[in-house]
Amino acid sequence: MTNALSTRFSAQRVQPALLRRDRDWNNNKGARRGKLDITAEILMFCDQPKTKTSIMYNTNLNYAQLKRHMETLTTQRLLVKRTNKYLITEKGREFLDLFLRLNHLVDRAP
């Protein structure tokens, strides 16, 4: 089941949803990524075990921001820490599924 879910949440599927929203938001002055967008990016990137450093660089966060997000995600059990590497949990995959579905609904709105 996990392999099927990993395939469903590949970077090719999640990244376009995030980029579409970023493009739309960049038209507004001062637009920034929201907490849910950052959470989805971190979870998407952690489909394989990743170190904090690689997560920080690939999600474009500074260390203080990353530390806050990682503490929250591990406390909420969306990520699990194993031997100094982070990996998405089943609950994290469910979050990504809902995130994608909501983005799809927003994209279809007139």
Give me the residues of the chain with pLDDT under 70, please.
1-31, 109-110
State the pLDDT at residue 33: 86
Task: Give the three-class secondary structure for 18.
Answer: helix
- Token representation of residue 1: 């089941």
**How many CB atoms within 10 Å of residue 4?**
7
Are 39 and 73 within 8 A, CB to CB? yes
Are 63 and 8 within 8 A, CB to CB? no
State the pLDDT at residue 29: 46
Angle at 85 between CA 10 and CA 78, to 5 degrees: 60
DSSP 66-86: HHHHHHHHHHTTSEEEETTEE
pTM of the model: 0.73
What domains, with CATH codes, occur in the chain? 2-108 (1.10.10.10)
